[in-house]
A and B are shown apart, each in its own frame.
Chain A
Amino acid sequence: MAIKNYILICGGTACESSRADDIYKNLIAECASQGVSDDVQIVKTGCFGFCEQGPIVKILPEDSFYVQVKPEDAKELVSEHIVKGREVTRLLYDKNKSKKHAKVEDIQFYQKQFRIVLRNCGFINPENIDEYIAREGYAALEKALFNMTPDDVIGELKTAGIRGRGGAGFPTWMKWNFTKQVENDTKYVVCNADEGDPGAYMDRSTLEGDPHSILEAMTIAGYTCGARQGYIYIRAEYPLAIKRLEIAMQQARDYGLLGEDILGSGFSFDIEIRLGAGAFVCGEETALLASIEGERGMPRPRPPFPAVKGLWGQPTVINNVETWANIPMIILKGGDWFSKIGTEDSKGTKVFALTGKIRNSGLVEVPMGTTLREIIFDIGGGIANDKEFKAVQTGGPSGGVITKADLDTPIDYGSLMGLGSMMGSGGMIVMDEDDCIVDVTKFYLGFSVDESCGKCSPCRIGGRSLYNILDKITKGEGEMEDLEQMKSIGQAMKKASLCGLGQTAPNPILSTIHYFEDEYLAHIKDKRCPAGKCKELISFNILADKCIGCTACARKCPVGAITGERRQLHRIDPELCIKCGVCLETCKFGAIYVR
């Protein structure tokens, strides 16, 4: 019997943690018990990107987009939608309560997106190679192996103009070409999947949703550069991505697409997975290679660059996941096609993990040159809880903030640099009026200090000094000369650090002092935290006209700092209060305020 409906369930990490797997199992069971198993194919796909609304279930051919689905909804989805052909309106994504917004193409979140990297995420079952092949998977490998010379491949990448998506934006064709040109029997291809930038998960979703695209691209690089062995270095924190990669590798070997004599071409290439062990600095390419070699993941001075002298001293092509995911499409559709997308400076698309105080958190892929305003307000739906937009942080601990004044800047590598931030790997964290810029900057510095490997002193000592000064400022002990001091330490770190971690660690400080000097001054001169975040500079108080004396806050206070009789005004003892904020969260009457 022919399949009437396809049910696609998001199997990304976020939706899985919201029991997507139970939804999947319940749907299978319901289809069986309602006798429609033969009419329906149920597929668990990669991430749909719209994580805020997860778990997501999409039913084809109607293209109904169901959000925040619960396992117990499976019965109704099957009995109504599948059996009776009626959409379950209450589960549709439909913020205006009109039926118009039900379908994917009508959802604003997706309208401005253009998907190359995420082309298969949310469409195919990542654990089934046939579905990848059905969407032109491995066609690029076949084309490269049989119709293109290695120089043709490199020429195509050059025409495409693709630059590395890991952060620095180095032209990919040049890397490949360096390795190709070195005369050497042993060469390596490495995939950098050590995505450590806090608040960024593009690579994780790509690996979970479309693992074959990475394997295919690495094999093409092996053919082009003359390597027979590849490594994928991936964070151990990504168990689902690892599992799907392992399945994909096995399937590719079974199909003759990986291993000895690929597709009968005489070319052999295989891939091994290596797991990270919790060190952010291993995202830096030379540190990553040291880690694969079984050593402490410490960066090495460059040059020599890995393209010439990399893993075990051999020429090594190393690219990040997102870069790899672009390659098959470039080979298949041609460099010309790719180069028409994006801006003069930056070609193609970029995937961003849009998070923070945004209404629609999720993964978005947009052409280079899209403005921040479009991403945050059109795709992201604006700021959550109707708060005021304050800044967006890009580039993670290596980047900086962008304020309202620059929201209309078209995003590419150059424009973000010009604003004192950087593309980075694609984390985009939106902040609202309640976020303290100094506090967030301290968070980033704390991260860089924690993750500094300690090899070079500008990073090891400079980072710590910067953190200490910021800590002082957030405690109300800052002095005016601290600002100049931080700038000069920051400049020294930029110049003298060995690797990207230390060179970029001061960026959050330099950028926030530039754009939010007034906020630093409020902390330093007025001993005041305008956003009400820095504990030492705020106090919790009770509004006499709002407190009804319900005792809820007093019961919740972990240190017994709140006193008051039932139905009487309560009081917070500032000496005892540890400013944990539990009272603020507990009070249902808005009687607690922060000063």
Chain B
Amino acid sequence: MAEIQTDCRTSTHAEPCREIDPGSVIPVVDEIITQYRSTRGALIPVLQSVQNLLGYLPKEILTHISRELSIPYSEVAGVVTFYSFFSTTPRGKHIIRVCLGTACYVRGGKEVLQALTRELKIKVGQTTDDHQFSLEIGRCFGACGLAPVVMIDEDVHQRVKPNAIGLLLAAYRDDDDQDRGGSDEKA
């Protein structure tokens, strides 16, 4: 589903994962700001586009956006911290989102999440030391018939079993590009 990402999308798959040099990306950020200059309520679409591009929102970039849009930094920071999609720290190469919608919960989503935290040795909201994975929770991807569901980047994995988590991650860990997405195998 990669082709559906366009400008102002909050991506589930952020490209770069290490810290970036804010100075080097100012020109692209400015391009995004120009694009939304005439839009009312532009702050959120701008933040979404910038995060989509950079993978996260460094403080220097936020102050820059604040100046350019003439919105106090406190307000920008307020918005960034309010919405769960925004991140001010670099995220992993792969974003793992465990669905904890009710259907997934009653069909074992919590056990899947526990297996992932054990396997990755991180908590929800954290990123592994090797910057490979970030672990997040999701609230219903609309695939309740296939619960429990785990989304890794843009791939939906269905009927995930806690004791097979290792296998699932292995396909991503080495980043080999074989077909791993959206299979209905008992992952």
Contact = CB atoms under 8 A, between A and B. Distances in A.
Interface of A: 12-14, 16-19, 51-52, 54, 70, 196-201, 204-205, 236-240, 242-243, 274-275, 277-280, 291-298, 312, 353, 355-357, 361-362, 393, 396, 427, 429, 431, 435, 440, 443-444, 447, 453, 556, 558, 580-582, 585-586
A296 B9 contact: no
A359 to B, nearest CB: 11
Given A297-B82, A580-B115, A201 B140 contact: yes
Contact of A199 (B41, B102, B183): B102
13 contacts: A19-B183, A51-B145, A198-B102, A199-B102, A239-B12, A275-B45, A277-B48, A295-B75, A296-B78, A296-B82, A353-B144, A362-B145, A580-B114
Contacts, number: 175
Given A17-B143, A396-B102, 4 more contacts: A14-B146, A237-B12, A239-B1, A355-B144
A355 B147 contact: yes
Contact of B182 (A17, A52, A292): A17
The 3 closest A-B pairs by CB, nearest first: A51-B145, A201-B142, A17-B156
Contacts of A205: 142
A247 to B, nearest CB: 10
A580 B106 contact: no
Interface in B33-63: 40-45, 47-48
Nearest to A360: B145
Given A238-B142, A274-B45, A278-B85, A18 B182 contact: yes
B103 A580 contact: no
Contact of A280 (B86, B139, B145, B154): B139
Interface in B65-113: 71, 75, 78-79, 82-86, 100-103, 105-107, 111
Interface of B: 1, 4-5, 8-10, 12, 40-45, 47-48, 71, 75, 78-79, 82-86, 100-103, 105-107, 111, 114-115, 118, 138-147, 149, 154-156, 158, 161-163, 182-184
A298 B23 CA distance: 33
B44 A291 contact: yes
Given A17-B156, A18-B158, A585-B163, A356 B85 contact: no
B83 A201 contact: no
A581 B156 CA distance: 24
Given A197-B140, A277-B44, A279-B84, A294 B102 contact: no
A284 to B, nearest CB: 14
A49 B47 CA distance: 35
Contacts of B100: 198, 443
B40 A293 contact: yes
A269 B147 CA distance: 41
A580 B163 CA distance: 10
Contact of A582 (B9, B155, B162): B162
* Residue of B4, B8, B47, B146 with most partner-chain A CB within 10 A: B146
B86 to A, nearest CB: 6
Contacts of A18: 146, 158, 182, 184
Given A51-B144, A429-B106, A580-B115, A242 B139 contact: no
B9 A431 contact: no
A361 to B, nearest CB: 4
A243 B8 contact: no
B84 to A, nearest CB: 4
